[in-house]
Amino acid sequence: MNIQRAVTALSLRLPTAGGRLERFDLSVPKDFPERVSGPLNRIALAAAHMVVEPLAEVDPWLTVAPDWERTIAFREHLWDLGLGVAEAMDTAQRGMGLDWPMALELIKRSVAASKRRDGAVVFSGAGTDHLDPGDARSLDDVTRAYEEQVAAIEAVGGRIILMASRALARLAKTPDDYAKVYGRILGQVREPVIIHWLGDMFDPALKGYWGTADLNRAMDTAVAVINDNAGKIDGVKVSLLDKDKEIAMRRRLDKRVRMYTGDDFNYAELIAGDEHGFSHALLGIFDAIAPAAAAALSALAKDDLASFHDIFAPTVPLSRHIFRAPTRFYKTGVVFMAYLNGHQDHFTMAGGQESTRSTLHLAELFRLADRAGLFRDPERAAERMRCVMAVRGVEA
């Protein structure tokens, strides 16, 4: 792609607050890489979305029909950029359209694809989502549910991300209950896992995780569980959207345990780190900004901190917009970016989730993505945006 071609003549009308339409001129895209071969000094996992088949004869709120070819092709795109894949996680609509049987099929296909290429990394989400929280009667029920998913993923050669459990959040009464369940699971895993602490802004059913709504006390429990089992833990991903709490927790972890930032608001400074340490990354926003992430991380690996921040800085407003409250609807923005950038030919999601964000939200997303230089083909992005706006009543 010749990124030097003039694209400023490309323009369309986008809605603004108050019901007005305003002309928006697209800028020249940035020269981000399509492949990265050099070593990185941070581990970076992108929580990847799932592409659905828009022409399947299904009821989208009730049935998921994946487009497996495009779904795996997107993972190939992430691996080309030197990023790993966090599979069957929240970004893939786990628990919001993607159930456990379909998640396991996705994991099987992703792990198989990774084994066909050198250096491709996949960690996959193991949880308890096949267990209806209302049917769980005891902590043993929760433990058995975790064991079932862990065993299924390990059986296909997968590495584990131990996801937070809605059933555990409902049943556990004390911090010791969490220590008991996690201790039993960690005692059985074949390889070190990533622990995932997902805040209730992403999933309201996880409020009070680790036995209390007080995040400082919850952190005490989480750190104790993690450090007591450090030999079985690769790292911990924290998704609280609170950089100070992540930094505080990072400094308390056993030296064998990595911190993976899940902070889609403050990832740049957390990855850069400070004199006491840094965070690796496991981020949903890396799905949407993968080429920029690869370029920034490559610069960091060359000790070019100025370029690292220059690349990431304009992506942060976009990420904060995509992940704005209600945060659980961020997947809509991630898939919209994949559509605008040609990774799929439609803006259709499992569970009809493409409807969770407003027309104004999508318009601002488009502006911010353009300012970050993220449209690899501005003409295509503009045409697709016009189509979406037209369906929503905007003559762009």
In the prediction, which pLDDT does 5 show?
44
CA distance readout (Å), 183 to 158, 188, 233, 239, 316: 20, 9, 11, 21, 36
The pLDDT value given to residue 3: 44
Q: What is the pLDDT of residues 18-58, one digit of tens each?
A: 889 999 999 999 999 999 988 999 999 999 999 999 999 99
Residue 107 contacts residue 124 (beta carbons within 8 Å): yes
Report the pLDDT value the prediction gives residue 132, as an integer from 0 to 100: 85
SS (HEC) of 148-187? HHHHHHHHCCCEEEECCCHHHHHHCCCHHHHHHHHHHHHC
Query: How many Cβ atoms are within 10 Å of 10's Cβ, its own excluded?
Result: 17
pLDDT value for 4:
42
Tell me the C-alpha to C-alpha distance, in Å, between residue 210 and each of 179, 189, 394. 9, 21, 46
Residue 140, pLDDT score: 96
Residue found under tokens 């966090």: 86
Q: What is the rounded radius of gyration, in angstroms, for the C-alpha atoms of the chain?
A: 21
Closest C-alpha among 354, 99, 114 to residue 125: 99
Q: Is 131 exposed, middle or buried (0-12, 13-18, 19+ CB in 10 A)?
A: buried
Q: 246 and 240 in contact (C-beta within 8 Å)? A: yes
Q: Is the dihedral of CA 389, 375, 281, 347 positive or negative?
A: positive
CA distance 345 to 349: 12
Q: Which residues of the chain have pLDDT under 70?
A: 1-9, 396
